[in-house]
Amino acid sequence: DEVENLKTTFHIENSSNILSELDEEFDSLYSILDEVKESMINSIKQEQTRKSQELQVRLYNCLNMILTAFFLFSLISSKAARQIKDRYGIKPTLLFNLFFLFLPVPKAPEIDPVECLVADNCVTVAWRMPEEDNKIDHFILEYRKTNFDGLPRVKDERCWEITDNIKGTEYTLSGKMTLRFRKWSYGYILKTILFWIALNFSLDNSSSHLNLKVEDSCVEWDPTGGKGQEKIKGKENKGRSGTPSPKRTSVGSRPPAVRGSRDRFTGESYTVLGDTAIESGQHYWEVKAQKDCKSYSVGVTYKTLGKFDQLGKTNTSWCVHVNNWLQNTFAAKHNNKVKALDVTVPEKIGVFCDFDGGQLSFYDANSKQLLYSFKTKFTQPVLPGFMVWCGGLSLSTGMQVPSAVRTLQKSENGMTGSASSLNNVTQ
């Protein structure tokens, strides 16, 4: 009996092991079959996709050839166009539209505002594609420059200029402008406007000293004070009655500027001010003197500057002064105090005014070397001020603050030279 029981137990355990092994074998077979099934399905889908794409390409090529033939045929003569319309009831213009409808047009580019940059009077526009498109060969950038403040206006707009064959996705241009770019002539056109708000002022001819000949951005010393021109006109008109003959009137001549306050500056205050006050923000402009200019000053002042006052000799004006007469000097002036500057007078002086930060700095406009910096607190709006004697000055305004100047201002932070240092130095 015991032997029989042992045999029965052995057979039961052996059967269980066999069942377990069979289950493992079947599971392994099932996994192999699933892999084969998945592989076959993927192969079938890939083949289906490939054949579908080939079929689409063939259909597109056939349709392209048919529409091209119809389009070219319709261009041969108006008679052919009427034949197409009479026979097929289709207008040739409709075929033309269908021709371009089936062309593969890439998606519109998107402006990348993070990569766009407006700095140093240049505009860098950057864009990106929503998805990669290897069929795009190049981009075409269209731009139109503007020389006025505010939004672009219809009046006096310049023509669009084109820069072709741009391989990358960014481009840099100089000057204020409106930009747009496109992909292919029938692709999407995307416009963007990139510009900066800058102080754009002119010289105030109506309140300048009589011995200064002033235009919008130029001022020149005139020892005759306009009297010489009046004498010449008097000689020309001597013995003539009535108004001058229209034949002798210059077509391109402009009427003389009206001087609202002829005694705004007088005596030795050969001064002219800008026509736009600075009440906030950071602004930058540049001044270039004639080579033979004997004396000139560049700075800012409150509107209350007296008619006999000179820049830098009051507590409401700040400037740098260049003297090339008898002796050569270069100095910063404020409140009738002077600080000699041990630097070479640059060819062009850059002026940076931070009204809110109370800082007025002067730079070499070419190298961006800091010449001098005033640190104060402006309590009133300031006007750009200029003094010139025996020579002339020319201005460049409407400029963006150069990035090098911004960097220097952050690092300098008013530590290099200040108005307080002038209080200890008497002129």
Pairing of strands 337-340, 329-334: antiparallel
pLDDT at residue 96 above 60? no
What is the structure's pLDDT at 342? Answer: 93
71 or 330: which carries more pLDDT confidence? 330
What is the structure's pLDDT at 266? Answer: 85
Asked if the structure places residue 245 within a domain, the reply is no
Helices (H) and strands (E) in the chain, counts: 6, 21
Q: Which residue has the tokens 């800012």?
A: 300
Rounded to an integer, the average pLDDT of 40-53 is 87
Asked if the structure places residue 142 within a domain, the reply is yes
Q: In which element (H, E) is residue 142 found?
A: strand 139-145
Lowest-confidence region among 18-32, 93-107, 154-168, 257-271: 93-107
Rounded to an integer, the average pLDDT of 150-167 is 64
Q: Using alpha carbons only, how large is the chain's radius of gyration in Å? A: 40
**Around 51, how many Cα atoms within 13 Å sit in the side-chain half-sphere?**
6
Q: Report the CATH number at residue 397.
A: 2.60.120.920
Q: How far apart are CA 384 and CA 259, in angstroms?
A: 19
Question: Are 14 and 116 in a shared domain?
Answer: no
Question: Are 378 and 282 in a shared domain?
Answer: yes
Q: Which two tokens stand for residue 382?
A: 């300031």
State the sign of the Cα–Cα–Cα–Cα dihedral 357, 363, 369, 370.
negative
Contact 419, 372 (CB under 8 A): no
3-class secondary structure per residue, 169-198: CEEEEECCEEEEEECCCCCCEEEEEECCCC
The whole-chain average pLDDT of the chain stands at: 75
Contacts of 367 (CB under 8 A, 6+ apart): 346
Contact 180, 191 (CB under 8 A): yes
Q: Which of 61, 80, 100 is the last residue of a domain?
A: 100
Percent of the chain surpassing pLDDT 70: 66
What is the structure's pLDDT at 395? Answer: 93
Contact 275, 257 (CB under 8 A): no
Percent of the chain surpassing pLDDT 90: 30
pLDDT at residue 249 above 50? no
Rounded to an integer, the average pLDDT of 226-230 is 48
55 or 338: which carries more pLDDT confidence? 338
Asked if the structure places residue 244 within a domain, the reply is no
Q: Which two tokens stand for residue 117?
A: 């940059």
Residue 418: which pLDDT band, with cuts at 50, 70 and 90?
very low
pLDDT for 51-67, tens place per residue?
A: 888 887 787 777 777 76
Lowest-confidence region among 75-89, 154-168, 330-344, 389-403: 75-89
Asked if the structure places residue 155 within a domain, the reply is no
Residue 254: which pLDDT band, with cuts at 50, 70 and 90?
very low
What is the structure's pLDDT at 93? Answer: 58
What is the structure's pLDDT at 152? Answer: 45
What is the structure's pLDDT at 226? Answer: 54
Work out how many domains the chain is built from and give that number: 3
36 or 183: which carries more pLDDT confidence? 36
Q: How far apart are CA 418 and CA 416, in angstroms?
A: 7
Question: Are 187 and 207 in a shared domain?
Answer: no
Asked if the structure places residue 342 within a domain, the reply is yes
Q: How far apart are CA 331 and CA 338, in angstroms?
A: 6
What is the structure's pLDDT at 153? Answer: 45
**Which among 63, 66, 62, 82 is positioned nearest to 74, based on CA atoms?**
82
Angle at 376 between CA 371 and CA 381, to 5 degrees: 105
User: Helix or strand or coil: residue 96?
Assistant: helix
Residue 79: which pLDDT band, with cuts at 50, 70 and 90?
low
**Which among 214, 383, 213, 368 is positioned nearest to 311, based on CA atoms?**
383
How does DSSP classify residue 108? P
Rounded to an integer, the average pLDDT of 182-209 is 62
Contact 211, 265 (CB under 8 A): no
Q: What residues make up the domain containing 220?
A: 203-225+262-402
Question: Are 49 and 18 in a shared domain?
Answer: yes
Lowest-confidence region among 12-16, 124-128, 210-214, 229-233: 229-233
Question: Are 331 and 269 in a shared domain?
Answer: yes
Residue 263: which pLDDT band, with cuts at 50, 70 and 90?
low
User: Checking phi first, is residue 396 left (phi over 0); if not, alpha (psi -120 to 50) or beta?
Assistant: beta
Backbone angles phi, psi at 205, to 5 degrees: -65, -25
User: How long is the chain?
Assistant: 427
Q: List the alpha helices (DSSP H) in 203-277.
A: 227-237
Question: Are 285 and 376 in a shared domain?
Answer: yes
pLDDT for 359-371, tens place per residue?
A: 999 999 999 999 9
416 or 27: which carries more pLDDT confidence? 27
Q: How far apart are CA 113 and CA 279, in angstroms?
A: 30
User: What residue type is 373 in one-letter code?
Assistant: S
Question: Are 83 and 166 in a shared domain?
Answer: no
Asked if the structure places residue 254 within a domain, the reply is no
Contact 217, 386 (CB under 8 A): no
What is the structure's pLDDT at 147? Answer: 52
Question: Are 85 and 184 in a shared domain?
Answer: no
Q: 45-54: which pairs have CB atoms within 8 A and are 24 or more residues apart?
A: none
Which range, 8-17, 131-140, 175-184, 197-206, has the best average confidence (pLDDT)? 197-206
pLDDT for 277-327, tens place per residue?
A: 999 989 999 999 998 899 999 999 999 999 899 999 999 999 999 999 888
Contact 186, 96 (CB under 8 A): no
Question: Are 65 and 211 in a shared domain?
Answer: no
Question: Are 186 and 209 in a shared domain?
Answer: no
279 or 162: which carries more pLDDT confidence? 279
Question: Are 87 and 208 in a shared domain?
Answer: no
Contact 366, 345 (CB under 8 A): no
Question: Are 48 and 132 in a shared domain?
Answer: no
